[in-house]
Chains A and B, each alone.
Chain A
Amino acid sequence: MTAPMSESTRTIEELTSADYEYGFSTDLETDIAPPGLDESVVRLISSKKDEPEWLLEWRLKAYAAWREMEEPDWAKLEIAPIDYESISYWAAPKQKPVLDSMDDVDPDIREMFDKLGIPLHEQKMLSNVAVDAIVDSVSVTTTFKATLLEAGVIFCSFSEAVKDYPDLVREHLGSVVPVRDNFFAALNSAVFSDGSFCYIPKGVRCPMELSTYFRINSMNTGQFERTLIVAEDDSHVSYLEGCTAPQRDENQLHAAVVELVAKDRAEIKYSTVQNWYPGDENGVGGIYNFVTKRGRAHTDAKISWTQVETGSAITWKYPSVILQGDRSIGEFYSVALSCRRQQADTGTKMIHIGKDTTSTIISKGISAAHGQNTYRGLVKILRSAENARNYTQCDSLLLGKECGAHTIPYIEVKNPTAQVEHEASTSTVGEDQLYYCRQRGMTEEDAMSMIVNGFCREVFNELPMEFAVEAQLVGISLEGSVG
C-alpha cells in the first residue's frame, strides 16, 4: 500500500507540473538593439522614443546611479550571475506606426493575444475592462481609450503619456520610487521602454477595470516597463495586470517599476496575476522577475495590492505602501506558488507615518516539488504614527519533501500607541482532508486542487471578478463563482 505522504506528493507534482500553457512564441518582426548597456544605449532608447530632454537627463542620472550600485544579495534566492552585457535593452515589434483603430493592430499580434485569451477587439472584450497590451518593451494598443476619456480618465501607454501629458508624468515619475531606490529600480529608470500610465481626475470613479497585459516575446531581451497610476482626490480605480512569456532555455530578465499615488480619499486597487515562464522542472530557463512596486497613500486614501504569483524562475518583489496621510489604509494580499525549481522571495512593506493608519497583510505561500518560498515583510511604525494598526497573517503550505517555506517578517515599532499583530503557520495538506473529498467521489487531483484553493481563498476573494479568467492561469484553477 502506498505510503500516505508520497501519494499526495505525487499528486501535487502532477498538479503543478502541468505544461506551461503560454510557452509558445510568435514570429513578429522585431526592432531590437544589440546587447549591452552603456550611456549610448540609454540615449538610443530615449531617441527611439523621441523623448524630451528632461526625461533623457533623468534616465542618464539613473544610469549613473545604477553603475555605482550593487545587486542586492539579501534575499533567499540562489541566482546564477546575471550578465547585464548580454541582454538587449530594447526590443519592439515592428508594426504600422499609427493606429487609427483597433483593426490596425498587426494581425500577428492580435492572433497572439487571442491565443492568450485576451482579445483586443473591443466588441469581443468583456465590456467593462480596458486593456493596454504590451509586447516586449512596447505598448501595441490600448482599448477603450475614448470611452475612458469621456469620464476624464487617461489610460495610455507610458510613451504616449510622455508626449501628451508631460507635466503629469514629470510631476509624479520617481516620486514614490526614486531612481536610486535600489539596483533594479535604477536599471529600470535608465532603460525603461514603455508601460502604462493612468490618471483619474478628482472625484471620478473609473467606469471600468483597467488592465495591462504584458507579454515577453523576443529572445535575449530584458523587459523593463514602468507603470504610473495617479489617483486624484476622491477618485477610485481598479487596475489589473497579467504577464506571460514563451518557454525558452535562457533566463530572461524582467525588472519593472510600478508607482502609485493615491491622493486624499482616493482608492487604488492593484491586482496582479503573474505567470511568466517558470523554467522547466530542472530549473532551466525562466524569467527573473525583479520588481519594485510601491504606493503612497495620502490622507484617508487606500492602496490595496493583490498578487497571485505563480510564474517566474525567480520572484523578487515587495509591493509596498507608504501610509503617509492620516487614516490612510494599506493592504497586501498575496498567493505565491513555487514549484519545479522556482524561488520566490516576496512580501510587502507597510511604512506607517500618518496617524490612525491601518495595514493588513495576508500572505499564502505554497511550496511544492523543489520550490522555495519566502515571505519577507516589513511593518514599520514611525514615531509620528499615533494609533497605527497592523495585522499580519502568513500561512505556508508545504507539499513535498524537497521544498522549503520561510517566513521572515521585520516589525519595527517606535510608537507606544501602535498595535501590531503577526501570526504565521506552516502546515501540509491533511491526509484526512484528501480522503474525505475522495470518499465524496472527487479524484485526488481535484481534491488537492480544491484544498489548495481553499487555502488561498482569502486572497482570491480580493481579485476582481473580471480577473477570474486570468486566475485560471495559476494552474490551480479558481473554484466556481458560486457563493
Chain B
Amino acid sequence: MTASPTAIDPAVTGRAAALDWVELSGYPTRRNEAWRYAPHKKLAELSFGPPVALTTSVPDLGDLIPALDGPRIVVVNGVVNTELSTMTGPTGLHLSSLLDARREQPDRLAVHFDRVKSQISDAYMALNIAFGGDGAVVRVDAGATLEVPIHIVDVEVPDETRNASCTGVVIELGAGSSATVVETRIGVGADFGGSNIRTTITIADDASLEHVLLQNVPASHMHLSNIDVTQGANSKFLARSFNLGASYGRVAYRVDLAGSRAHADLSGLFFGFGDQVLDQQINVVHSAKNCTSRQTYRGVLDDASTGIFNGGIDVLPGADGTDAEQSNKNLILSDRAEVNTQPRLEILADEVACKHGATVGQLDESAMYYMRSRGIPAVEARRLLINGFADQVVDEVSIESVRTWINQRLGHDDV
C-alpha cells in the first residue's frame, strides 16, 4: 500500500467487516463453550455503539482506584479524559490515547484492529473492533526498564441508554524491556450499563510485563474484558486479575507463547456476592518449543453468586518440551452459590509435561474447629480462612498499594 497523506483509520476500515461478522455469526449462546454459563438474556439488554458522552460531572476517583505513583490514562465513558490523565512518564515510555494513535500511527495498531474472521472469537469482540475507537496505547522502548507502574483507568457512568462502552488498550514492550501496567475498571451510579474492553499486548523477545487487572465496577454493570497476549522468545508475562465487580464480570485471556522459552504466569481471584456471575476464560497456547506456563485461579462464592473457570492449555504440534500447569480451587460459602469449572488440556506435541487440578469445596471444618478451640470466634475464623485462601493470589501482586486496595475491597484489614 502506498503512503497517503491522510492515513487510513484502522478503526474505521475494520468497522464494516466487524459488523458484518456480527450479522453473519450472531451473538454467543449457551452452545458456545466459552459462553456456556453467561447470562445471555441480560447481556442482550446492553446497547453497543459509539461512546455516549458523559451528561453528569466527572466523578471523583478518590478511593475508587488504588493510589499509584506514575503516569496514568483515564478513560471515561469510552473517551480519554485528558484532565485526569498524566501522559508524561520516564524515558523509554510512550503514552497516548488510542484515538491519537489512530491518527498518527495507524499502521502500528494493526495488531489490535486488523482481525481476520477466524481471529474474532465472538460478537462482543467484533463490536469492540467496530466501536472501540478510543482508549490507551502504552509503548516501551527496547531495553527500557520502567520502575513506576503505568495506570490505565476505565470509568463508566451509564445512563438510560444502557450503553456498554467499547474501548481498547494496546501495550507494546520492545525487546529486553520491562514494565508494570495496572488496569483498573470502575464505575459510578446504579444505572444499568457496561463496558467491553479489549487489551492487545505484544511482548518482544527477552521483555517482561506484569499486568494487573482490577475489575470492580458496580453491581448494576456488566463487564467484558478480553486480553490478547503474544510473547516472544525468553519473554515473561505475569497476569494478575481480580474479578470482583459487575453483575456479570468476564475476564478472558488468550496468551500465545510464540517464541521459545517464553514463560507465562497467570493468576486470578474471583470473589462473588449477591447474584454476581464471575467468569474467567483462560487460554494459554504453547506454539513454540520449551515454553512454560502456570495458571493459578482461586474462586470464592458467597450468597447466590456463580463462579466460572474455563481454563485451557493448548500445546500445538511442534511445541515439544512444554511444561504447563494449571490449578483452580474454589470455595463455596453459601448453599445458593455455584461453581462451574472446566480445566482443559489439549496436547498435540511430544515430550510434554502438563498437569492440572481443580477442586471445589467448603471451608476446612477441622481448621475452623482448631481455631475456635483456640478461642477465635467462628466469624473471625471463617474470615481468616477465606483471607488465607484469597491471599494465594493477592500476594502475587508486586505493588503494595494495589494489594492494600484489593484487601480493602475484600474487607481484609490485616495486610
Q: Which residue of A lies closest to B342 (CB)?
A: A410
Judge whether B353 and A426 touch: CB under 8 Å. Answer: yes
- Distance A156 CA – B333 CA, assembled complex (angstroms): 51
A410: chain B residues at CB < 8 Å are: 340, 342
Judge whether A5 and B345 touch: CB under 8 Å. Answer: no
B354: chain A residues at CB < 8 Å are: 424-426
Judge whether A418 and B361 touch: CB under 8 Å. Answer: yes
Which of A297-305, A324-332, A396-404 lies at the binding interface?
Answer: A396-404
Q: Looking at the complex, which one of A398, A403, A418, A425 makes contact with B360 (CB distance below 8 Å)?
A: A418
- Distance A414 CA – B341 CA, assembled complex (angstroms): 12
Q: Is A47 an interface residue (CB 8 A)?
A: no
Once A5-B350, A411-B340, A416-B334 are accepted as A-B contacts, the answer to whether A396 and B357 lie under 8 Å apart by CB is no
B340: chain A residues at CB < 8 Å are: 410-413
Q: Which residue of B lies closest to A383 (CB)?
A: B335
- Distance A403 CA – B317 CA, assembled complex (angstroms): 9
Per-residue contact bits, chain B 332-352, to A (CB 8 Å; 1 contact, 0 not): 111101111111111111111
Q: Is B108 an interface residue (CB 8 A)?
A: no
- Distance A407 CA – B362 CA, assembled complex (angstroms): 25
Judge whether A428 and B352 touch: CB under 8 Å. Answer: yes
Of residues 366 through 412 on chain A, the ones whose CB sits less than 8 Å from some CB of chain B are 381, 383, 396, 398, 400-401, 403-412
For A396, A411, A414, which residue has the most chain B Cβ atoms within 10 angstroms?
A411
- Distance A424 CA – B357 CA, assembled complex (angstroms): 6
Q: Looking at the complex, which one of B339, B345, B352 makes contact with A406 (CB distance below 8 Å)?
A: B345
Once A410-B340, A410-B342, A411-B341 are accepted as A-B contacts, the answer to whether A426 and B347 lie under 8 Å apart by CB is yes
How many interface residues does A have (CB within 8 Å)? 33
Q: Is B356 an interface residue (CB 8 A)?
A: yes
Q: Which residue of B lies closest to A4 (CB)?
A: B351
Judge whether B359 and A420 touch: CB under 8 Å. Answer: yes
Q: Is B358 an interface residue (CB 8 A)?
A: yes
Q: Is B40 an interface residue (CB 8 A)?
A: no
Q: Looking at the complex, which one of A383, A400, A422 makes contact with B358 (CB distance below 8 Å)?
A: A422
Q: Looking at the complex, which one of B320, B346, B355, B360 makes contact with A413 (CB distance below 8 Å)?
A: B360
Judge whether A422 and B359 touch: CB under 8 Å. Answer: yes
B350: chain A residues at CB < 8 Å are: 5, 398, 400-401, 428
Q: Which residue of A lies closest to B338 (CB)?
A: A414
- Distance A408 CA – B33 CA, assembled complex (angstroms): 11
Judge whether A415 and B351 touch: CB under 8 Å. Answer: no
Judge whether B345 and A404 touch: CB under 8 Å. Answer: no
Judge whether B346 and A424 touch: CB under 8 Å. Answer: no
- Distance A426 CA – B317 CA, assembled complex (angstroms): 15
Q: Is A417 an interface residue (CB 8 A)?
A: yes
Q: Is A31 an interface residue (CB 8 A)?
A: no
Judge whether A411 and B355 touch: CB under 8 Å. Answer: no
- Distance A419 CA – B358 CA, assembled complex (angstroms): 11
- Distance A425 CA – B325 CA, assembled complex (angstroms): 9
- Distance A5 CA – B351 CA, assembled complex (angstroms): 9
- Distance A417 CA – B364 CA, assembled complex (angstroms): 11
A175: chain B residues at CB < 8 Å are: none
Judge whether A426 and B343 touch: CB under 8 Å. Answer: no
Shortest distance from the beta carbon of A339 to any chain B beta carbon, whole Å: 15
- Distance A425 CA – B343 CA, assembled complex (angstroms): 12
B358: chain A residues at CB < 8 Å are: 409, 411, 420-422
Q: Is A83 an interface residue (CB 8 A)?
A: no
Shortest distance from the beta carbon of B154 to any chain A beta carbon, whole Å: 32
Shortest distance from the beta carbon of A27 to any chain B beta carbon, whole Å: 43
Judge whether A404 and B348 touch: CB under 8 Å. Answer: yes
Q: Is A68 an interface residue (CB 8 A)?
A: no
Once A413-B332, A426-B354, A428-B350 are accepted as A-B contacts, the answer to whether A419 and B361 lie under 8 Å apart by CB is yes
Shortest distance from the beta carbon of A448 to any chain B beta carbon, whole Å: 16
Shortest distance from the beta carbon of B401 to any chain A beta carbon, whole Å: 34
Judge whether B343 and A409 touch: CB under 8 Å. Answer: yes
A419: chain B residues at CB < 8 Å are: 359-362
- Distance A405 CA – B353 CA, assembled complex (angstroms): 12
- Distance A383 CA – B347 CA, assembled complex (angstroms): 34
- Distance A98 CA – B345 CA, assembled complex (angstroms): 54
- Distance A411 CA – B328 CA, assembled complex (angstroms): 11
Q: Which residue of A lies closest to B349 (CB)?
A: A401
Per-residue contact bits, chain B 277-303, to A (CB 8 Å; 1 contact, 0 not): 000000000000000000000000000
Shortest distance from the beta carbon of B384 to any chain A beta carbon, whole Å: 18
Judge whether A417 and B357 touch: CB under 8 Å. Answer: no
Q: Looking at the complex, which one of B320, B332, B341 makes contact with A416 (CB distance below 8 Å)?
A: B332
Judge whether A418 and B332 touch: CB under 8 Å. Answer: yes
- Distance A412 CA – B341 CA, assembled complex (angstroms): 6
For A406, A410, A426, A428, which residue has the most chain B Cβ atoms within 10 angstroms?
A426
Q: Is A423 an interface residue (CB 8 A)?
A: yes
A412: chain B residues at CB < 8 Å are: 338-340
Shortest distance from the beta carbon of A420 to any chain B beta carbon, whole Å: 4
Q: Is A147 an interface residue (CB 8 A)?
A: no
For B330, B333, B337, B345, which residue has the most chain A Cβ atoms within 10 angstroms?
B345
Judge whether A413 and B356 touch: CB under 8 Å. Answer: no
Q: Looking at the complex, which one of B349, B353, B356 makes contact with A407 (CB distance below 8 Å)?
A: B356
Q: Is A427 an interface residue (CB 8 A)?
A: yes
Shortest distance from the beta carbon of A12 to any chain B beta carbon, whole Å: 12
Judge whether B359 and A421 touch: CB under 8 Å. Answer: yes
Shortest distance from the beta carbon of B110 to any chain A beta carbon, whole Å: 32
Shortest distance from the beta carbon of B163 to any chain A beta carbon, whole Å: 33
- Distance A396 CA – B357 CA, assembled complex (angstroms): 14
Shortest distance from the beta carbon of A110 to any chain B beta carbon, whole Å: 46
Of residues 129 through 182 on chain A, the ones whose CB sits less than 8 Å from some CB of chain B are none
- Distance A396 CA – B344 CA, assembled complex (angstroms): 13
Shortest distance from the beta carbon of B295 to any chain A beta carbon, whole Å: 13
Judge whether A417 and B362 touch: CB under 8 Å. Answer: yes
- Distance A155 CA – B157 CA, assembled complex (angstroms): 71
B332: chain A residues at CB < 8 Å are: 413, 415-416, 418
B342: chain A residues at CB < 8 Å are: 408-411
Judge whether A413 and B339 touch: CB under 8 Å. Answer: yes
B341: chain A residues at CB < 8 Å are: 411, 413, 422
A409: chain B residues at CB < 8 Å are: 342-344, 358
Judge whether A426 and B361 touch: CB under 8 Å. Answer: no
Judge whether A407 and B339 touch: CB under 8 Å. Answer: no
A403: chain B residues at CB < 8 Å are: 348
Shortest distance from the beta carbon of B6 to any chain A beta carbon, whole Å: 47
Q: Which residue of A lies closest to B357 (CB)?
A: A423
- Distance A409 CA – B332 CA, assembled complex (angstroms): 19
Judge whether B335 and A424 touch: CB under 8 Å. Answer: no
Of residues 419 through 455 on chain A, the ones whose CB sits less than 8 Å from some CB of chain B are 419-428
- Distance A414 CA – B307 CA, assembled complex (angstroms): 10
Judge whether A406 and B360 touch: CB under 8 Å. Answer: no
Q: Which residue of A lies closest to B37 (CB)?
A: A412
- Distance A90 CA – B264 CA, assembled complex (angstroms): 56
- Distance A427 CA – B353 CA, assembled complex (angstroms): 5
* Sample of 6 A–B contacts (CB below 8 Å): A407-B345, A411-B341, A413-B339, A418-B362, A419-B361, A424-B343
- A5-B350, A396-B345, A416-B337 are known; give 13 further A-B pairs, CB within 8 A: A408-B346, A410-B342, A411-B339, A411-B341, A416-B332, A417-B335, A418-B361, A421-B359, A422-B356, A423-B357, A425-B354, A427-B352, A428-B350
Top 5 A-B residue pairs of the complex, sorted by shortest distance between their CB atoms: A416-B332, A407-B345, A420-B360, A414-B338, A426-B354
